[in-house]
Amino acid sequence: MSFERVVRLALLPEMRLAYFEAEIPIDYIPDDSPEMGMLWESFNAWRLKARPALGRIDIAALAWQMEREPGATTFTCRVAVPIRSDYQPPAPAKTTFFAGGAFAFCYADNIDEIAEAFAAVDHYVLEQRFVPASSGIEAYKFHYNLDQHPCDCGVLVTHADGSNPLGEASAGPLPIAR
């Protein structure tokens, strides 16, 4: 059964995050990378033990690729959970501020749909003449079925002149993200 992938544009809000990171080979496949699997396993074990004070009720976790140098054979991947601004997570988690922005994204029901969702986003970004302002981002949703991992796959985008495709009114943080 085939269906059309719908790409949407929305605000991915600014957030303070507790994260883990690892170097992942560039040629990895999301469900076939030992490094990615170990990163998620260590992060989820920490999250169950630490029970961090969550900063959002709609995002279970984020995963994103950091920008890489040309010719690099690996990239840094971070997995994170949004936390409250007054919470200091225990080691080995690190914290960072995620600035957010206009997010061009496509929904994936599970891990095996991620590549197809990102391909739809890439096509949309080219079609709309947006400029990617980030590498790939996966925003995981809370879900009742623990064997399913739904997420929104996409990239932050701007217009060619650097302006926000959503306009200035949407550039500010949501109160819950603080």
Domain membership of residue 176 (yes or no) is: no
pLDDT, tens digit, 9 for 90 and up, residues 99-109: 999 999 999 98
Q: Is 125 helix (H, G, I), strand (E, B) or coil?
A: helix
Please state the rounded mean pLDDT for residues 56-64. Answer: 85
pLDDT reported for residue 3: 65
Q: 63 in a domain, yes or no?
A: yes
Residue 112, in any domain of the structure: yes
Is the residue at 156 inside a domain? yes
Q: How many domains does the chain have?
A: 1
Q: Give the chain's end-to-end CA distance (angstroms, integer).
A: 42
Q: Is the pLDDT of residue 68 over 90?
A: no
Q: Tell me if 174 is assigned to some domain.
A: no
CATH code, 50 = 3.20.80.10
CB neighbours of 87 closer than 8 A, spacing ≥ 6?
18, 52, 53, 55
What gap in Å lies between CA 22 and CA 38, rounded to an integer? 9
Confidence of residue 60 (pLDDT cuts 50, 70, 90): confident
Full residue range of the structural domain in which residue 152 is found: 7-165
Considering the domain boundaries, does residue 96 fall inside one?
Answer: yes
pLDDT of residue 155: 96
Q: What is the pLDDT of residue 173?
A: 44
Q: Is the pLDDT of residue 150 over 90?
A: no
Residue 144, pLDDT above cutoff 70: no
Q: Structure pTM?
A: 0.84
- Run of H or E residues at 8: strand 7-12
